[in-house]
Every structure is written in structure tokens, then in C-alpha cells.
Amino acid sequence: MFGKGLVKGLNVTWKEFWSKKFTVQYPDEQHTKPPRFHGKFQLNSDACIACGLCANACPNGVIKIESEKVNKKKYLTKYVMNIQYCLFCGMCVEACNKGALRFTQEHDMSQYFYKDIPLVFVDREAPKPDPETENKEKDDDKSKKAGKAPEKEGQ
Amino acid sequence: MLRTETYTVNFGPQHPATHGVFRVMLNLDGERIVKAEPVCGYLHRGVEKLAENRTYQQVIPYTDRLDYLAAGLQNQGYVETIEKLMEIEVPDRAEYLRIITAELSRIASHVLFVGVYALDIGAFTGFLLCFRERERILDLMEELTGSRMTYSYARIGGVAADAPEGWLDRVEKVVNDLPYYFDIYDDLISGNEIFQARTKYVGYLSAESAVDYSLSGPTLRGSGIDYDLRKAKPYSIYDRFNFEVPLGENGDCFDRYFCRILEMRQSVYILQQAIEQIRETDGPIMAKVPKVLKPPKGEAYHEIESSKGILGYYVVSDGSNKPYRVHVRRPSFVNLGFLDEMCRGGLVADLVAILGSIDIVLGEVDC
């Protein structure tokens, strides 16, 4: 019989009309996000050893890392993520051995100006090396890196 | 003899019914289509070329962006190709997790197809209705992978992370609910007379020409050819599941549509079995794979049954840590090849129905 399908369809509509509403009134209400959510990044700069594994893992070259040798140790001076090229694949977070780089639940990263887009986690000067340890190192081996540090002192 | 002149009309590239940026150059005789010439390339990003400058693992996020509606399947196809090239044995649990994500992706893709197809035909309600179910699947995937569409979940040798606690129970609940929704689709969309009038006996595709044009997926099976790679050449662990390959009879738009509805029901069976079996499977989720992957010199081709058809990856290795060449056999692109002949003699409105029934994703067509 013609029209049977339409009546059946209307029946579905009638039932759905009384069912629970699914719409979430964003932005007043928000969905809860799961713990693994790929949101904005967060860097624990104390835990970061500037090994560069995250930068190497990134398919798009989003992460820029700069570091200086201080007391024979790498000191992170700059950590910038050009988030506009990010695919949010999570390869960098997976590569981090120290758990320094993490995803957060934050998802609104849009900016009014282009220059504000990159996430600048660390942008600092390297501290002056401790002279005592420095001299000790110098005695141990007269490598180039140890010689470079005193120049800084004079600046 | 009196005759009318044909004229050319551009359908797209900015037209919602083309599902993206896709152009069809129509040669019309009145309202009838004389020739329909597909023009693609508006969404070309050069994924194959980009892959040549990335390490093997770094290509995975790019495969997401091919068929972004079923990224789980795209990831699976790529990593299985590399595993074939390197002869890596994948742990059982990882295989099961991949199957679950793949089948969930397939359902998510088909559910969206049903909705979008209803929209193409003119039913806006169907479109929004189907998003509700897709949303539930996307929520599950978000919980597992962290992303809603571009999962990047599969890794060479396994998967990125194990299922979180209680995730399998939630998947089971959604999977058990799904057949109820499919019944609603049948009532609201498949059984609708207007929908049937628009799709039945439209866009006929004979079984012979479907094979000749090497079409695949539901487009091929809608014409009655029983060829599903999951059954014909079981890859991964598909030989462990019982399921049927639904077929169409007439090879028209409605059969192609209905084939997908039936396929979703089969995916539900597969998922139910996979969840049951993964509960008894413990173990690692990654095989022992070196951090820097350097496959031996050689090449590999591997194909899987994606939601749109046969998805093949061809990877050539020159022994370095980056692929020498990656080629993707995209089902959407190949299936489009027959558009012209399906449209000939039809109306412009039929073109929308036909194009929708092939279920193309432009990210995959243009690659």
C-alpha cells in the first residue's frame, strides 16, 4: 500500500519527539573530555632534558628546541610549538621518555593574531654556570664546551 | 531533423551535494545528462609525496586524512603494509583492538553515509538523526585514541595504547544498541516511498561493468558480486569471525544504499565476537620493533576492505628510514570512474543520488 512507509516514518518521528534530548548547550555546557583527549599541550620544563626526541618524532616539524650546555648538562633555553602546523597525532607525547610533554583537556586555542598562535613554553637565558663545578670540570677535561662557558661569565 | 543543442553546466566544485570540493562537468540535453565528466584534484594535498619525506611512523597521521570518516581503517591498511614489508608479527591483543577500531570506523562511516544520503535525497531529518549514533561511536574512539576523527591509533607492530578500563564494556553496550538504530533507519529512510522513488532503478550498474571498471566495496556488492576482502582473502584475523557478505540484486542506487545498512549489521556481529574474544586475550599490544625503522630493500602491496572499497597501499623501501615511494589505491577514486556511464540518460537530480550512492570522500579521491 502506498503511504505505508511514510506512516511508519512518522511513527518514528513521533516516538523520537518524546525521547531524551541529546543537544548540549555549548558553550554554557560542555561535554566531559576523556583523559586521553588530544587538547592543548603542556610542558613541564623542569622535567624536560632537551633531548629532542619529541621534535624528531613530529611529522610536521612543529617543535623547535634550543638548549645550551651548562655544567656539562643540557639546559633548555627555548621550547616553541608552532601549533598552527600541528596534526595533534600525539607522536611527541608518546616519544617523551620523561613525561614532560602532556596533553591537557583544554581545546580552545584560537587566537586573534597570528603571532599569538605558537605555544612558547620556555624562552629563557641559560643560568651562569657555578664556578666551582666549572673549574672542576675544566681540570677533568679541557673540552671545548667547558671553555665556552666562562665566555658567558664575562658578558 | 529537429534537434536540440547540448549545453555544459558545471556541477560543483562548491556544491554541498558533491560531499566536498568536486566538480562534474555536465553535458546536458535539456534535463537529461549526455555526458558527466568528473574533475577532481581540488583537495589534493600530495600525501603520497609528503610520505617520502617522513619516517615510516610519521606517515601514519597522514593516512588519517585520506578517508577522514573512517580513519581507523586507513591506519590499519598502512601499518599492515609495513608489517608485511618487514615481516613483523603483531600480538593478538593488538590485532583485536585494531579490528574493533576498524569495524567501529566502518559503522561510523556507513552511519554518516546513510544520513548524508538521506540529505542528498532531500530528507534533512535523516541527516541529523544519524549524527546521534555516530556521535556515540566517536565518543568511544575519543576515549581510546584521544581524537574524534583522526585517530592515528595503529602503530607499526601494534597499537598506540591499550583500551582504558571499562572501555570494552562501553563498546559492547553501544554495539548492542546499534541494531535498534538500524531498525529506525529502515523505518524512517529505507522504507520511505519518496526515498525509494528517487533511488530505485536509478544509476544502474551491471555486474560485468562493475568488475570491468574494478569497482569495489558496497558499490560492487550492490550489483551482486560477492567480493569482500575480509572473506575472499582474510587479512589480519578476519578468518576468526563468522559473518556474511550482504549483496544487492539490481545494482541500482537503492541496492548500494541498502548493502551498507546490511553491512553495518554484519559489522555488529563481528564486533560482538571480537569483544568476546579479546576478553580472553591478554598480552602485549606492541611487537618488538626497533625505534628507528629501516625495512629491507624491497616493496610490498597490501590491501584491506575499507568502508568505501578495496584500499591498497604500495610501499617501496630503499633501506633507509624513509619510504622511497608510497602509493595509495583509493577506492573512492576508482569507484568514481564509472560515474559517467551511470549518469547517462538520467536527470540532474539523479546525478546527486548516484554520486551519493558511490559514497566518495574527497580527501581520499584527491589524496
Q: What is the pLDDT of residues A24-79, one digit of tens each?
A: 898 898 888 898 899 899 999 888 888 889 999 999 889 999 988 888 888 888 89
Q: If you count residue pairs, one on A and one on B, with CB atoms under 8 Å apart, how many are there?
A: 73
Quick check: B94 pLDDT over 80?
yes
pLDDT-derived band at A138, boundaries 50, 70, 90: low
Residue B65 CA to residue B281 CA, distance in Å, equals: 31
Residues 6+ away with beta carbon under 8 Å from B179: B265, B268
Mean pLDDT, all residues of chain B? 89
Query: What's the rounded Cα separation, in Å, for the pair A48 and A98?
Result: 7
Q: What residues of A are in contact with residue B129 (Cβ under 8 Å)?
A: 16
- Please count the other Cβ atoms lying within 10 Å of the Cβ belonging to residue B269: 16
The cell for A128 is 651562569
pLDDT at B262: 92
The partner residue sitting opposite B192, judged by closest CB among A9, A38, A89, is A9
Give pTM, 2 decimals: 0.89
pLDDT reported for residue B13: 85
* Whole-number pLDDT of residue B271: 92
Q: Is A9 on the interface with B (CB under 8 A)?
A: yes
- CB contacts of B189 in chain A (<8 Å) are 9
Tell which residue, A79, A39, A86, has the closest CA to residue A61. A86
Which residues of B, range 289-328, sit inside 8 Å of A by Cβ? none
Residues above pLDDT 70, as percent of chain B: 100
Residue A137 has pLDDT above 70, yes or no: no
For residue A136, the model assigns a pLDDT of 61
Gap between the Cα atoms of B181 and B183, Å rounded: 5
Q: How far is B45 from chain A (nearest CA, A)?
A: 14
Rounded to an integer, the average pLDDT of A143-148 is: 49
Q: Which residues in chain A are contacts of B142 at CB distance < 8 A? A: 33-34, 36-37
What average pLDDT does this structure show over B182-194? 87
Distance from CA of A126 to the nearest CA of B (A): 31
Asked if B132's CB is within 8 angstroms of A3's CB, the reply is no
Mean pLDDT of B273-280: 90
User: Is B331 in contact with B220 (CB distance < 8 Å)?
Assistant: no
CA distance to partner chain A, nearest, from residue B214 (Å):
33
Nearest CA of chain B to the CA of A6: how many Å? 6
Res B223 pLDDT > 60: yes
Q: Do A9 and B160 touch (CB under 8 A)?
A: no
ipTM (interface pTM): 0.79
Nearest residue on chain A to B64, alpha-carbon basis = A89
